[in-house]
Amino acid sequence: MKIGTDGLLLATTTPLSKSSLKVLDVGSGTGLISLVIAQRAPEAKITAIEIEENAARESELNFTQSPFAERLKVLNSSFQDFNSSETFDLIICNPPFYDGSQAEGSRKQARNSVMLPLDELAKGVSKLLIADGQFSLIIPSQSEQSFIETATRFDLYPSEILRIRGRKDSKIIRSIIHFKKEKREVQVNEMHIEVDKRHEYSEDYINLTKDFLTIFD
* pLDDT tens readout for residues 169-216: 999 999 999 999 999 999 999 999 999 888 899 999 999 999 999 888
- Residue 98: per-residue pLDDT: 42
Q: What is the DSSP string of 73-117?
A: EEEE--TTT---S--EEEEEE----B-SSSS-HHHHHHHBTTTS-
108, pLDDT greater than 70: no
Is the pLDDT at 148 greater than 60, yes or no?
A: yes
Instruction: Answer whether 71's CB lies under 8 Å from 35's CB.
Output: no
Predicted local confidence at residue 101, as pLDDT: 39
Whole-structure pTM value: 0.91
Kindly state the helix (H) or strand (E) to which residue 140 belongs, with its residue range. Answer: strand 129-140
Amino acid in position 206: I
Candidates 3.40.50.150, 3.40.50.1820, 3.40.190.290, 2.60.40.150; correct CATH number of 5-211? 3.40.50.150
Sign of CA dihedral 53, 174, 123, 84: positive
pLDDT band for 97, please (50, 70, 90 cuts): low
- Tell me the pLDDT tens digit for each residue of 46-88: 999 999 999 999 999 999 999 999 999 999 999 999 988 899 9
